[in-house]
Amino acid sequence: MTENKAVLEMEKKWRERWAKEDIYKFHPEKPNKFYLLEMFSYPSGAKLHLGHWWNYGLSDSYGRFKRLKGFEVFQPMGFDAFGLPAENYAIKTGIHPKDSTEHNMAVMENQLKNMGATFNWEYEVKTCEENYYRWTQWLFTKLYENGLAYQKYAPVNWCTSCNTTLANEQVVDGKCERCGSQVIRKDLTQWFFKITAYAEQLLEGLNRIDWPERTKTLQKNWIGKSVGSEVDFDLENGKKITVFTSRIDTLFGVSWLVLAPELPVVKELTKKEQKEAVEKYIKQTASKDEIERQNTTTEKTGVFTGSYAINPINGKKVPIYIADYVLGSYATGAVMGVAAHDERDFDFALKYNVPVIQVIKSKDGSLGTLPFTDYGMLMESAEFDGMTSEEAKSKITKKLETLGKGRFKTNYKFRDWSVSRQRYWGCPIPVVHCEKCGIVAVPEKDLPVKLPYNVDWTPDGRSPLSKNEEFMNCTCPKCGGKARRDPDTLDTFVCSTWYQFRYPSAKINDEMFSSEIVNKMCPVDKYVGGIEHATMHLLYSRFITKFLKDIGKIDFDEPFASLVHQGMILGSDGQKMSKSRGNTVSADDIISEYGSDALRLYLMFGFNYTDGGPWNDEGIKSIAKFIERFSRVVLSFGKAKLENETVYGKEEKELDRVRNYSISEVEKGMEVFAFNTSIARMMELVNAMNKYELNEIKNGFLMREIAKDFLIMIAPCAPHLSEELWEQIGMPFSIHNQKYPTWNKDKLVLDEIEIAVQIRSKIVVRIVVSTSATQDEIEAVAKENPKVKEALSTFVSHKTILIPNRLINFV
């Protein structure tokens, strides 16, 4: 590898000039703001890798394009600075998370600055700083005041070897990501945010945002809305069991009830002779996770409890079973078994010998093959016979309502968001536990509850903060008596729910953010980040945005108006880049050999931004050649003598057409992150410029204009080099303050076009014809061509078929 000193120095020179003159400064008072945001990153100490260039570099190019289009672009950057990696690093090395994080942020900030991006560092946000997490805590207290933050005893992921809880994303295939040990479930009292209260609004809002369809679908499925009914089945002991069903039209076909084994009522219902089998089954179930239990390919198992319940619609007595495919955490944890119309139930019925009662005919009136669930006609009861399923669902539920034994009900699959972490490096939970007053939120004037520096983070199963007496002991803000702090910290996803509002208001410290500023600047106009966040960060921040609107902090309810997911750059072997595979590509090496503009241009040209793809060493080489070519031709065009201004013949017209076409198409591509097509159009323009150079008499004025247009178009993609060439052709600093060139529709019209000539559908030759030529005229031109003449000498053509602008066929 050779270091390309000249290029590196040129790039550095311009970066220094941009910084010195502060040309990317954001002016909030100017109209036409455009808020461009990339998901901020965790401050790792490693060097910037290709992924950073891909994500941040290319969206920076998009932002630069928007600036040229006349927008006042706001593109802030910051760090998602709390989190497990720093704490795990501390456990391994003894280096304090605060120290390593601060170091890493400084290193990374410096590297990001060296990218030559237009980030507005004045508005930097670091979530681990007191003046940030103070407002994360304030947000918590507001949620608490509004009944949306609550404590519950619930299971967490627990690593048996590290002796600590793990976040869901730290559990890989049921094992601890750090040590590979088995992760078990452990019950602990934890804090939750009631995101489920916003289920409907989260669904509805999806219709109003410009997000990729697949991301919206992921959120929709995650929320999992299910419309149905609840039915109460009476028990022999006078109590009742409520089931949730989306198919109440099958109520006449119920053969048994199935409860989730973990439901507390199971113990009461179990008869003596079934006790042993039931208890054994409950134990078995406890070792399975929900995903395993919902696996439809494994055989259904279950155990009879010995008890019966009464079907309220027909008084039939049905047995009660427990089975692990019914989940205790969804709906009521009890289902009615309808073997004839539910596949899972059908398998179960065959195995346990319960009757299969068909109550629905298929639409053609036949009984069909069991089990079938398509909507047909109800039968069996005179009252509902012949109704469609939809009619029957409504009528049956209404009837149950009058009997006091059922009701309409909508359930959602997603759960409230568990936010407590028994870890150190996070935002402390701003409540105290008082013996007299119970849980008391820390009042705003006492925030932040500071994260102490001195703690023992050895993983021994206790929250590190619980071992710091100085932190734990406090006075109750309500009664002034002795109280204890909460020893847990918040999930870092809480910190990132609202950072997009902090940025534009980053200079204000006496409130979470200025509503006036945020209402003006937000929602974010374009958000760029990975799809892996679809059902976490992207859902959480939508929830918190809706909440902030409800408490009057903002007047809009969706944080990100438009969203783009970048794909992923793979190693040249098509696999995810990783050190262990040895397929990583070092961004630094590429830059030192070719310059950062070359890296950007290659990433823009070689891949579809939303797809990504495998790295290719040849690709960067051919981009280097393209750079050489356009540098030469732009200088030649840009330095052309201003003469022959009035010469505007066929060649000038064609060159001008390519220029106008290029301007319009590059713009279209840039707008939708289709950078590869934009670069391809610029390459075509360079070809056309090359061709024009061969002309004898050249319109120097036109050449200069085209050189300038080309440089402005490529400026977002090669920010340093375009600035350099701009200067070399004698233009004043800075190219990045120019306006994107305009194009003229009239100039796009082609005068002449090449079409194919076919004889009996086989191409013989290509000819150039005027775009306004009639079929007869085209035929005449074709017949003059020697090859066509020859072909037609042995074949009598009866007619010609013309496909305009493409071909003429002699048949």
* Displacement of CA 696 from its chain's centroid (Å): 55
Closest residue by Cα to residue 568 from 523, 602, 615, 535 = 615
Pair of tokens at residue 616: 């290719």
Is 137 a binding residue for ligand ANZ by CB under 6 A? The answer is no
Question: Which one of the spans 185-193, 240-248, 266-274, 711-719 is the region binding ligand ANZ (CB under 6 A)?
Answer: 240-248
Closest residue by Cα to residue 737 from 73, 75, 10, 31 = 73
How far from 315 is each of 85, 241, 249, 251, 310, CA to CA, in Å?
59, 15, 16, 11, 6
Residue 329 or residue 742: which is nearer to ligand ANZ going by CB? 329
* Contact partner, 250, from ligand ANZ, Zn ion, none, Cβ < 5-8 Å per class: ligand ANZ
Question: Which one of the spans 30-38, 476-484, 616-624, 642-650 is the region binding Zn ion (CB under 5 A)?
Answer: 476-484
Site string for ligand ANZ, 247-286 (x = CB under 6 A): x--x---------x--------------------------
**Cβ contacts of 688 within 8 Å, gap of 6 or more:** 654, 655, 658, 659
Residue 527 near residue 563, CB atoms below 8 Å: yes
Site string for Zn ion, 402-421 (x = CB under 5 A): --------------------
Residue from 44, 120, 246, 728 in contact with ligand ANZ (CB under 6 A): 246
Question: Which one of the spans 110-118, 131-139, 372-380, 429-437 is the region binding Zn ion (CB under 5 A)?
Answer: 429-437
Is 433 a binding residue for Zn ion by CB under 5 A? The answer is no
Longest dimension (CA), the chain: 111
Pair of tokens at residue 626: 């393209």
For 319-347, letters b (16+ CB in 10 Å) and e give bbbbbbbbebebbbbbbbbbbbbbebbbb
Residue 286 or residue 479: which is nearer to Zn ion going by CB? 479
Residue from 111, 226, 242, 592 in contact with ligand ANZ (CB under 6 A): 226
Residue 465 near residue 488, CB atoms below 8 Å: yes
Residue 2 host element (H or E): none
Please tell me whether the peptide bond between 212 and the residue prior to it is cis, using omega within 30 degrees of 0: no
Residue 284 or residue 805: which is nearer to ligand ANZ going by CB? 284
- Rounded distance, CA 528 to CA 526, Å? 7
How far from 6 is each of 117, 286, 593, 601, CA to CA, in Å?
20, 66, 10, 18
Q: Pairing mode, if any, of strands 807-810 and 752-759?
A: parallel
Closest residue by Cα to residue 467 from 481, 448, 482, 488 = 488
* Contact partner, 331, from ligand ANZ, Zn ion, none, Cβ < 5-8 Å per class: ligand ANZ
Is 465 a binding residue for Zn ion by CB under 5 A? The answer is no
* Contact partner, 373, from ligand ANZ, Zn ion, none, Cβ < 5-8 Å per class: ligand ANZ
| Least Å from the CB of residue 135 to ligand ANZ | 38
Is 336 a binding residue for ligand ANZ by CB under 6 A? The answer is yes
- Rounded distance, CA 625 to CA 338, Å? 69
Count the residues in the chain.
811
Is 244 a binding residue for ligand ANZ by CB under 6 A? The answer is yes
Residue 585 near residue 619, CB atoms below 8 Å: no
- Rounded distance, CA 698 to CA 692, Å? 8
Residue 432 or residue 666: which is nearer to Zn ion going by CB? 432
Residue from 331, 387, 755, 788 in contact with ligand ANZ (CB under 6 A): 331
| Least Å from the CB of residue 263 to ligand ANZ | 9
* Contact partner, 247, from Zn ion, ligand ANZ, none, Cβ < 5-8 Å per class: ligand ANZ
* Backbone φ and ψ of 496, nearest 5°: -90, 5
Site string for Zn ion, 229-268 (x = CB under 5 A): ----------------------------------------
Residue 498 host element (H or E): none
Is 338 a binding residue for ligand ANZ by CB under 6 A? The answer is yes
- Rounded distance, CA 287 to CA 277, Å? 16
Residue 482 or residue 766: which is nearer to Zn ion going by CB? 482
Residue 256 or residue 607: which is nearer to ligand ANZ going by CB? 256
Residue 108 or residue 476: which is nearer to Zn ion going by CB? 476
Is 441 a binding residue for Zn ion by CB under 5 A? The answer is no
- Rounded distance, CA 525 to CA 513, Å? 18
Write out the DSSP string of 604-650: HHHSBTTTEEE--HHHHHHHHHHHHHHHHHHHHHHT--S--TT---H
Is 473 a binding residue for Zn ion by CB under 5 A? The answer is no
Residues 287-326 that bind ligand ANZ (CB under 6 A): 326
Is 474 a binding residue for Zn ion by CB under 5 A? The answer is no
Residues 344-383 that bind ligand ANZ (CB under 6 A): 373
* Contact partner, 223, from Zn ion, ligand ANZ, none, Cβ < 5-8 Å per class: none
Is 479 a binding residue for Zn ion by CB under 5 A? The answer is yes
* Contact partner, 479, from ligand ANZ, Zn ion, none, Cβ < 5-8 Å per class: Zn ion
Is the sign of the CA dihedral 529, 532, 537, 542 positive or negative? positive
Residue 589 near residue 78, CB atoms below 8 Å: no
Site string for ligand ANZ, 398-437 (x = CB under 6 A): -------------x--------------------------
Residue 370 or residue 697: which is nearer to ligand ANZ going by CB? 370
* Contact partner, 436, from ligand ANZ, Zn ion, none, Cβ < 5-8 Å per class: Zn ion
Question: How many residues belong to the site for ligand ANZ (CB under 6 A)?
Answer: 19
- Rounded distance, CA 396 to CA 383, Å? 9
Interacting residue ranges for Zn ion, rule: CB under 5 A: 434, 436-437, 476, 478-479, 481
Interacting residue ranges for ligand ANZ, rule: CB under 6 A: 226, 244-247, 250, 260, 326-327, 330-331, 333, 335-336, 338, 341-342, 373, 411
